[in-house]
């Protein structure tokens, strides 16, 4: 063995020992060549390190094939926050065949939502989302581009304009007062707060959408059906679907998510077809000379008029697109707002001292009268309570996942094209570097700089409605309705937890984070005059 090693060493002695002048020249040339090659390699590596592709973020390894899926629990926002403590504010994990990247710092949010907003303007659309939106024809799931811009512009200009919201003032007022009357009729009984508010919001939104198109029992039946189906539609969007993580299995629809989505869509479509047919019949009657006594146009009427105008253009508006937008509005403006109102009421009942301050403010601003929308801008403490509730319980704790249209660099790391990108708003809202005592319910924290903390997404440590191009389009209506119904319920009644019930503040993760258990509360009248409840 030693002789073999000696022989092997001897084979390499030619590098530094030459037998003649010819060998020495060859050795010299070889040495110079190697040195030159080494220098060029070093220079190339240096340039490459400066201009080359940034690495992927760090993250847990997971298991073969399934990645980190087996280690995910129910509450993704909390698990993602724990992983951020280990791997930093940007990290990757594989969920099946899907590369996911999680961001949880204001500076990284700025890079995605501001600096590279266009590149991150697309949604990572789940199969459930496609199934309930005609393949992504709505505002929520459609890809960023001219179609999405036109749909959103139409919604914001026609539905959310100041003029239209003002025109709907009496409608909102009537529905809220109807709710107060209904609650008064059930004094002393435990009531489901979330359900009460959901029905109020739904009645307002449907009246704005198609007004009095349907009448009597048919109208009541449609609204009852919508309540059930919309909650199922929103819930389906938060169901973990194996087909989303393993695209090769999508055609098998193993969990039946796609089939269920299509059934729900067919159910909603049947209702909408009836509403649209009746609205078109009414409009044709008006066109034939039948008078119509209306102060304003409902949204469906506006959309059908636009459809007629666009029939001979390059981009016509179809009935399918109209229905996709209507579903978007009903789902977004009812479920989310009702969920947040329930969280506010739960926090106030958990902190009776805070509720007392809210009611004292209401007594000072409103007096022993009925709340009007003109009172809302003066309710500064209630506004702070609502904002603090949004901080602790953001309705979409991970927002709607984004996906870049091209490979991007964020935080010094590469985010490849079509990666699923989560922005952990729940973690942003509890960042100890931004918020003092981040887990505590302290509405007063919003008094120090009232203009700094709003819902517009300009201050990235606080973005309950998102930020950038795809911020919630229904924000003006949601804010107005939320404050109105809360102020009315809190001013008109005192609220107590039923005897034997335990008030808890745990959340149930989904695309919208609801309370784990519904909030039940017993109302007692606060207003001096019983006529105010009539």
Residue that has been written with the tokens 């990284």 in this structure: 108
- Quote the pLDDT of residue 99: 97
Predicted confidence (pLDDT) per residue in 26-37, tens digit: 556 656 665 566
**What is the C-alpha to C-alpha distance for residues 493 and 467, in angstroms, rounded to an integer?**
36
- Quote the pLDDT of residue 14: 38
Tokens linked to 60: 């847990």
Mapped onto helix, strand or coil, the DSSP state of residue 187 is coil
**What is the C-alpha to C-alpha distance for residues 192 and 519, in angstroms, rounded to an integer?**
6
| H or E, element range at 475 | helix 475-492
Average pLDDT, the chain: 86
Mean per-residue pLDDT, 483-512: 91
Sheet containing 493-496, strands listed edge to edge, beginning at the edge strand earlier in sequence: 191-192, 520-525, 493-496
DSSP characters for 390-433? HHHS-SSTT-SPEE-SS-EEETTEEE-TT-EEEE-HHHHTT-TT
- Quote the pLDDT of residue 1: 46
- Quote the pLDDT of residue 3: 45
**What is the C-alpha to C-alpha distance for residues 175 and 368, in angstroms, rounded to an integer?**
20
- Quote the pLDDT of residue 25: 60
**What is the C-alpha to C-alpha distance for residues 140 and 152, in angstroms, rounded to an integer?**
9
Strands 402-403 and 514-515: unpaired
**What is the C-alpha to C-alpha distance for residues 179 and 491, in angstroms, rounded to an integer?**
13
Q: Which range, 63-67, 297-301, 304-308, has the best average confidence (pLDDT)?
A: 63-67
- Kindly tell me if the per-residue pLDDT of 505 is higher than 60: yes
- Quote the pLDDT of residue 436: 94
- Quote the pLDDT of residue 332: 81
For the chain, percent of residues with pLDDT exceeding 90: 58
- Quote the pLDDT of residue 323: 93
Task: Give the rounded distance of the alpha carbon of 178 from its chain centre.
Answer: 30
- Quote the pLDDT of residue 168: 85
**What is the C-alpha to C-alpha distance for residues 120 and 423, in angstroms, rounded to an integer?**
11
**What is the C-alpha to C-alpha distance for residues 530 and 534, in angstroms, rounded to an integer?**
7
Q: Say how many CA atoms lie within 13 Å of 220 toward its Cβ.
A: 2
CA atoms 475, 477, 482, 483: torsion sign: positive
The phi and psi torsions of 138 (rounded to 5 degrees) equal: -90, -175
For the chain, percent of residues with pLDDT exceeding 70: 86
Mean per-residue pLDDT, 355-370: 95
Confidence of residue 470 (pLDDT cuts 50, 70, 90): very high
Mean per-residue pLDDT, 483-504: 94
Residues 512 and 395: beta-carbon distance below 8 Å: yes
- Quote the pLDDT of residue 35: 58
Q: Which of 4-18, 82-96, 346-360, 408-422 has the lowest mean pLDDT?
A: 4-18
- Kindly tell me if the per-residue pLDDT of 100 is higher than 80: yes
Q: Which of 49-58, 282-291, 441-450 has the lowest mean pLDDT?
A: 282-291
Distances (CA, A) of 456 to 161, 247, 338, 451, 468: 16, 36, 20, 11, 9
Question: Which of 347 and 224 is assigned the larger pLDDT?
Answer: 347
Question: Across the chain, which distance is largest between two alpha carbons, in Å?
Answer: 120
**What is the C-alpha to C-alpha distance for residues 273 and 286, in angstroms, rounded to an integer?**
20
Q: Say how many CA atoms lie within 13 Å of 267 toward its Cβ.
A: 20
Instruction: Give the burial class of 454: count Cβ atoms within 10 A of its Cβ; 0-12 exposed, 13-18 middle, 19 or more buried.
Output: middle
Alpha-carbon Rg for the chain, nearest whole angstrom, is 30
DSSP β-bridge partners for residue 417: none
- Kindly tell me if the per-residue pLDDT of 512 is higher than 90: no
Predicted confidence (pLDDT) per residue in 228-256, tens digit: 788 788 888 778 899 999 999 999 999 99
Mean per-residue pLDDT, 482-490: 96
Residues 61 and 83: beta-carbon distance below 8 Å: no
- Quote the pLDDT of residue 31: 62
- Kindly tell me if the per-residue pLDDT of 481 is higher than 80: yes
Query: pTM for the complete prediction?
Result: 0.86
Which alpha helices (H) appear in 238-350, and where do they start and end? 242-245, 257-287, 299-309, 319-350
Phi-psi region of 351 (alpha: psi -120 to 50; beta: other; left: phi over 0): beta
Residues 120 and 93: beta-carbon distance below 8 Å: no
**What is the C-alpha to C-alpha distance for residues 373 and 487, in angstroms, rounded to an integer?**
10
Predicted confidence (pLDDT) per residue in 132-170, tens digit: 999 999 999 999 999 999 999 988 888 888 888 888 888
- Kindly tell me if the per-residue pLDDT of 262 is higher than 50: yes
Q: Which of 42-51, 61-70, 477-486, 498-507 has the lowest mean pLDDT?
A: 42-51
Return the HEC string of 154-171.
HHHHHHCCHHHHHHCHHH
| H or E, element range at 36 | helix 21-51
Contacts of 471 (CB under 8 A, 6+ apart): 456, 457, 465
């Amino acid at each position: 063995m030693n002789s073999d090693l000696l022989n092997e060493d001897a084979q390499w002695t030619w590098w530094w020992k030459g037998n003649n002048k010819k060998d020495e020249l060859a050795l010299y040339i070889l040495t110079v060549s190697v040195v030159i090659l080494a220098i060029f390699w070093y220079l190339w590596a240096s340039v490459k390190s400066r201009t080359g592709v940034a690495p992927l973020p760090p993250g847990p390894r997971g298991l073969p094939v399934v990645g980190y899926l087996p280690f995910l629990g129910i509450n993704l926002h909390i698990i993602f926050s724990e992983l951020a403590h280990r791997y930093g504010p940007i990290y990757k994990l594989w969920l099946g065949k899907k590369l996911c990247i999680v961001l949880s710092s204001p500076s990284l949010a700025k890079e995605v939502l501001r600096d590279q907003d266009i590149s991150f303007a697309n949604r990572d659309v789940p199969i459930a989302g496609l199934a309930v939106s005609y393949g992504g024809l709505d505002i929520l799931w459609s890809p960023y581009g001219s179609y999405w811009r036109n749909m959103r512009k139409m919604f914001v200009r026609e539905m959310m304009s100041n003029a239209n919201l003002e025109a709907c003032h009496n409608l909102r007022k009537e529905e809220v007062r109807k709710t107060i009357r209904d609650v008064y009729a059930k004094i002393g009984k435990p009531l489901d707060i979330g359900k009460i508010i959901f029905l109020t919001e739904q009645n307002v939104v449907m009246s704005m959408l198609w007004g009095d198109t349907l009448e009597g029992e048919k109208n009541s039946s449609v609204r009852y059906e919508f309540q059930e189906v919309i909650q199922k539609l929103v819930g389906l969007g938060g169901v973990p679907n194996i087909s989303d993580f393993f695209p090769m299995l999508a055609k098998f629809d193993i969990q039946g998510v796609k089939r269920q989505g299509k059934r729900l869509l067919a159910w909603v479509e049947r209702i909408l077809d009836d509403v649209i047919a009746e609205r078109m019949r009414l409009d044709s009657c008006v066109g034939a000379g039948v008078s119509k006594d209306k102060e304003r146009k409902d949204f469906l009427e506006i959309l059908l008029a636009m459809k007629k105008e666009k029939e001979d253009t390059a981009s016509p508006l179809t009935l399918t697109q109209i229905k996709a937008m209507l579903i978007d509005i009903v789902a977004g403006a009812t479920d989310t707002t009702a969920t947040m109102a329930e969280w506010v009421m739960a926090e106030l009942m958990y902190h009776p001292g805070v509720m007392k301050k809210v009611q004292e403010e209401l007594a000072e601003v409103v007096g022993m009268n009925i709340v009007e929308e003109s009172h809302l801008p003066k309710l500064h403490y209630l506004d702070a309570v609502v904002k603090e509730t949004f901080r602790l319980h953001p309705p979409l704790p991970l927002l709607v996942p984004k996906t870049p249209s091209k490979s991007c660099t964020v935080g010094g790391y590469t985010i490849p094209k079509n990666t699923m990108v989560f922005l952990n708003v729940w973690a942003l809202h509890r960042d100890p570097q931004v918020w003092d005592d981040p887990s505590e319910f302290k509405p007063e924290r919003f008094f120090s700089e009232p203009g700094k903390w709003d819902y517009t997404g300009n201050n990235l440590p606080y973005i309950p409605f998102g930020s950038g191009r795809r911020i919630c389009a229904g924000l003006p209506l949601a804010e107005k309705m939320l404050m109105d119904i809360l102020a009315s319920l809190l001013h008109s009644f005192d609220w107590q937890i039923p005897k034997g019930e335990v008030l808890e503040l745990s959340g149930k993760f989904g695309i919208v984070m609801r309370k784990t258990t519904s909030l039940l509360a017993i109302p007692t009248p606060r207003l001096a005059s019983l006529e105010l409840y009539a």
